[in-house]
Amino acid sequence: MKLLEDAAAKRVDTTSGAFTFIDLFAGIGGLRKGFEHIGGRCVFTSEWDTNSQTTYANNFPDNHKIEGDVREFSKKPSLIPHHDVLLAGLPCQPFSIAGVSKKNALGRPHGFLCDTQGTLFFDTAQIIKHHKPAVFLIENVKNLKSHDEGRTFATMMNVLENELGYHVQSRIISSEAWVPQKRQRIFIVGFKKKSAFDFDKVELPDPESGPKLGSILDSNVDPKYTLTEHLWKYLQGYKAKHAGKGNGFGYSLFGPNDVARTLSQRYYKDGSEILIAQANNRPRRLTPRECARLMGFDRPGKPFILKDVSDTQLYRQFGNAVVVPVVEFVAEALKPFLVEALKEDARPAPKRRAANG
């Protein structure tokens, strides 16, 4: 812990626009990529999943140690280095439509009643309360705003605004202007001091001008990604069965001129939400490399390293990730206001107690 104590006492020069940030519930580093894009320096990372840690470490080779369970640090937030910006990609399963449906079916709690995930918001709040960063950004699924008839979101806003005293705004942004995928996520931005930033006035690109699937698909794909005859027959039967009941459950088939549905962490199971049509053959899953492109992690001149973990784990990682160019866009919109916030917030880093103090 001594290294953390030493790092906590350091602060970069904010007059040049540089700033420090921490990356909580980091996944494979999508939020980090977005804020490094505008000149930020990550000083602390927390991600509990060991496979995600592997992918993160491979893609940030100059990285500090990746810490595990954030709850150990919310108990003693002084162990987290001083930072200007807090980033938190809160686990989405407790609030997502699919996650809530699954938990209801299994008779399990969701939202804040989900002890292992939902309450992690309060751990984040404890860290914000201690460090008082100039700005925070929290990302989650669109359904967070409507979960439990809006009570979940209202509770979060009460904590952030009334208990912690931040000026908070939120906006739901869909990704198809940047990548060929319809993926709606909510971004919650908080400023410690009132800012001229107005999230609602940030002009979004035209989604109709966004790329199509052909831009991320490979022409030669290993046959192992083609569905087996048995699985393809099962998915067709499953879709026909539910079509007869008047609902839309089942697989979705796409071609190079289409925009895909949302990639989910369950994609490894059968790939049914995004199947790629193949001439004279059964459809196939996206490859992990194509998923990396679909999420904006892998782009020309900016390769993303995929190694040391299985395809199953990579599918889960990308299904849980943020779309990198969307985060870059949000970061760019925030940048001038962040610089101003850091000027107003200029203060010496607090002294750290000894790790056993």
Question: In Å, how far from its chain's centre is CA 299?
Answer: 18
* Amino acid in the structure at residue 294: L
SS3 302: strand
Please give the Cα distance from 271 to 315 (Å, whole number): 9
* H or E element, residue 256: none
- Assign 3-class secondary structure to 110-123: CHHHCCCCCCHHHH
Question: In Å, how far from its chain's centre is CA 136?
Answer: 14
Alpha helices, H only, the chain: 2-8, 30-36, 50-59, 71-74, 97-105, 120-131, 151-157, 229-243, 267-270, 288-294, 311-319, 324-344
Active site residue 92: yes
Choosing from 42, 92, 114, 291, the catalytic residue is 92
C-alpha distances in Å from residue 267, one per residue of 253, 270, 271, 313, 330: 14, 6, 5, 10, 27
> Would you give the end-to-end CA distance of the chain in angstroms?
12
Catalytic residue numbers, as ranges? 92
